[in-house]
Amino acid sequence: MDFYVEDREKLYLYIGINLVIIAGAMIFFFTGISPRIKMLNLQRNMVKERQAELARRQETIQENERLKQELMEVNRYHETSTDMLFFKEDVTLVVKEITSICRDLQIEFVSIAPLSSNVVADLPENAPFFLKQLTVVFQMRADYSKLLRFLERVEESRKLLKIEAFRIKKNLKNPMVHDAEMILNVFSATRNRSIDKQ
C-alpha cells in the first residue's frame, strides 16, 4: 500500500506541477504573447487598409492618366477643328481662300455673291461661339481640266468648305473655255457677343 500512496503522491505532484506549468504558460501567454498577437493583428489590419488605399490610389492614377490621354485627344481635335473654321463671318476670308486657288490654277474669276448666312448648330446660350454657315456663289471661267483641279483643291482644303452645287455651261464666245458657277457653303465660328457683355 505504501507503494500506491507514493505513486499517488507522485501523480498528484506531477498533476500539480503540470497545472503550475499550464497556469504559468497561460499567464505568460496572456501577458506576453497575447498583446503581441493583438499588435500583430492591428498591424495586419493596417497593412490591409494601406493596401486598399494603395489600390484606390492606383485606380486614381490610372483614371488620371486616362483623362490626360482624353484631354490630349480633345486638344488635338480642337486644333484640327479650329484650323478648319473661319473665325469671322466675313466673305473676304472665303474669297481670299478661293481666289488663291484660282490664281494658282490660272482660272478667271468672274464674280462672287453671298446668298445667305445662318446658325447651323444648336449650342448652349453660353457657348463662346456660334457655328454659322455662309453660302456664297462664285462664277469663273476655265477649261475642264482646270475646273476639275479647282474642285479637287476646294475639296482638299483644310477649311470646312462644302460645295452645294457646281454648274458648267458652254461659253459661246470661246469653245475652249467654260463658264462655271459654284455654290459654296463655308462654316465659320462667330464670337458670341452676349457673353462678352456679361
Between 67 and 32, residue with greater pLDDT: 67
* Residue 168's CATH number: 3.30.70.60
Does residue 72 share a domain with residue 104? no
Beta-ladder partners of 138: 112, 182
pLDDT at 34: 66
Please state the domain count of the chain.
2
**Secondary structure of residue 116 in the 3-state scheme:** strand
Between 117 and 89, residue with greater pLDDT: 117
Does residue 125 share a domain with residue 60? no
- pLDDT > 70: percent of the chain: 75
In tens, the pLDDT along 37-63 reads 778 888 889 989 999 999 999 999 999
Beta-ladder partners of 182: 138, 166
Tell me which of 51, 84, 117 is where a domain ends.
84
Does residue 100 share a domain with residue 185? yes
Does residue 136 share a domain with residue 39? no
Does residue 79 share a domain with residue 34? yes
Does residue 179 share a domain with residue 125? yes
Does residue 102 share a domain with residue 162? yes
Does residue 95 share a domain with residue 67? no
**Is residue 193 predicted with pLDDT exceeding 70?**
no
Query: First vs last Cα of the chain: how many Å apart?
Result: 115
Does residue 151 share a domain with residue 183? yes
Does residue 147 share a domain with residue 100? yes
pLDDT at 1: 45
Does residue 3 share a domain with residue 96? no
The DSSP code sequence of 50-64 is HHHHHHHHHHHHHHH
Tell me which of 84, 108, 123 is where a domain ends.
84
Does residue 190 share a domain with residue 102? yes
Mean pLDDT for 125-144 is 80
Tell me which of 84, 115, 149 is where a domain ends.
84
Q: Which domain holds residue 177?
A: 91-197
**Secondary structure of residue 170 in the 3-state scheme:** strand
Q: What nine digits make up the cell of 145?
A: 481640266
